[in-house]
Amino acid sequence: MTMLTLRSPVFSFRLPLRRVVVNALLAALAALLIVAGLFGGSYPVSFADFMAVLNGTTDAVTEMVVLDYRLPRILTALGVGLAFGLAGEMIQTLLRNPLASPDIIGFTAGAGTGALFTVAILGTTAFVVPGAMFGGLGAALIVIGLSWRRGIAPGQIVLIGIGITLTLGVIGDLLMTRLDATSAYELMKWLVGSLHSRSYADVQIIWLGLLILAPVAFWHQFILARASLDEPVALGLGIALNRSRMVTLGLAVGLVAVAVSAAGPLPFVAFVSGPIAHGLNRASRPTLLSAALVGAIITLFADMVSQTALSGMSLPAGVFTALIGAPVLIWVLIIQSRKNRL
């Protein structure tokens, strides 16, 4: 593997060249999607228009399109994608299972059931997000609590997560049949996850969350890389395994929580970002930055498709994250099996 060596008088630093190139390309692609989202679409905005909006010297319509509609939507998509990508990669590294995702710790199922409960009991869709947060955090706590065995046991988390997820899923399905048709339809849209008509409140939630949690996640990845080795090896390296696992789970749950409250549980983003990033880097896990960027690219692209290609059908972005994510996973599968690595 070609290494890139950065030297300064104080310290030197070696980076795999491939990782640098991959991350740069991913970042460029994400930037391209942001630009396309801002300037393209059904109401084209030129760069001059955009600068004029920032200077406050333009007509009300352009200002409204850019500032009230596009900017919050794109900022939410970017933040949510980064958060899901980070959370997915951390959970998959911790549990050493490419089929794991934050769903496995019960958060998504709990959030869905919580949202359904508020609607079924209170009869209004006003409290969907608090209900989802309550349900999601509750479910994650139950999964972690039940798999506690003088510390967090990763093998237990997967199994107990499956049990809790299936149970909550069925309770959700049962509640769904007790709702009237209109509420069921509205909730279905939320459960899939949407970026439609996001506000600056959503932007604040997701970016505040990222600002606090992402730096910790990036700092922690060096410990996580060692903590995900075989247990005796990790202990031999002097890793405080239990603390590292708690930090990882806490970060992942926090990131998923802010992302879900901003945009709903966009399916598949957290699940596929890690394997794709891993495949591109051909490096050992975790590859946090690449996974976060892949998550952002998928989310931004899904959002773009949902508003342009099939705008008449008004499908939410969550449908497209899944439609994009699934074939990508199949592609990764084929590539990996050609190399006989699976």
Residue type, 47: F
| 308 is an interface residue for other proteins by CB under 8 A | no
**Segment near other proteins (CB under 8 A), from 131-139, 155-163, 199-207, 215-223?**
155-163
Any contact of residue 174 with other proteins (CB under 8 A)? yes
Helix (H) or strand (E) holding 16: strand 12-16
C-alpha to C-alpha distances, 123 to 182, 189, 206, nearest whole angstrom? 11, 17, 27
Stretch that binds other proteins, among 3-11, 48-56, 232-240, 314-322 (CB under 8 A): 314-322
Closer CB to other proteins, 62 or 167, in the complex = 167
Does 329 bind other proteins (CB under 8 A)? Our answer is: yes
Which parts of the chain fold into alpha helices (H)? 17-39, 47-55, 60-63, 71-95, 107-122, 128-146, 154-178, 181-192, 200-227, 231-236, 241-263, 269-281, 288-307, 317-338
Q: Is position 163 an interface residue for other proteins (rule: CB under 8 A)?
A: yes
Q: Which of 64, 209, 190, 62 is nearest to 127 (CA)?
A: 190
Question: Which of these ranges, 52-60, 178-186, 209-217, 287-295, lies near other proteins under the rule CB under 8 A?
Answer: 178-186
**Residues between 95 and 124 that touch other proteins (CB under 8 A):** 97-99
User: Which range of residues in 16-24, 34-42, 151-159, 285-293 is near other proteins by CB under 8 A?
Assistant: 151-159
Cβ pair 210, 292 in contact under 8 A: no
When asked if residue 265 is in the footprint of other proteins (CB under 8 A), the reply is: no
Q: What are phi and psi of 135, to 5 degrees?
A: -65, -45
Among 20, 34, 52, 171, binds other proteins (CB under 8 A): 171
- Residue 322 is a binding residue for other proteins (CB under 8 A): yes
Q: Interface with other proteins by CB under 8 A: which range of 30-38, 45-53, 125-133, 174-182?
A: 174-182
Cβ atoms of 274 and 87 closer than 8 Å: no
Q: Is 170 in the site for other proteins (CB under 8 A)?
A: yes
User: Per rule CB under 8 A, is residue 141 in the interface with other proteins?
Assistant: no
Q: DSSP string spanning 266-313?
A: -TTHHHHHHHHHHHHHTSPSP-HHHHHHHHHHHHHHHHHHHHTTTGGG
CB-wise, 31 or 342, nearer to other proteins? 342
Distance CA 141, CA 168 (A): 14
Minimum gap (Å) between residue 151 Cβ and other proteins: 15
Collapsing DSSP states into helix, strand and coil, what is residue 325? Answer: helix
* Min CB(235)–other proteins separation in Å: 18
Shorter beta-carbon distance to other proteins: residue 7 or 338: 338
323 part of the interface to other proteins, by CB under 8 A = yes
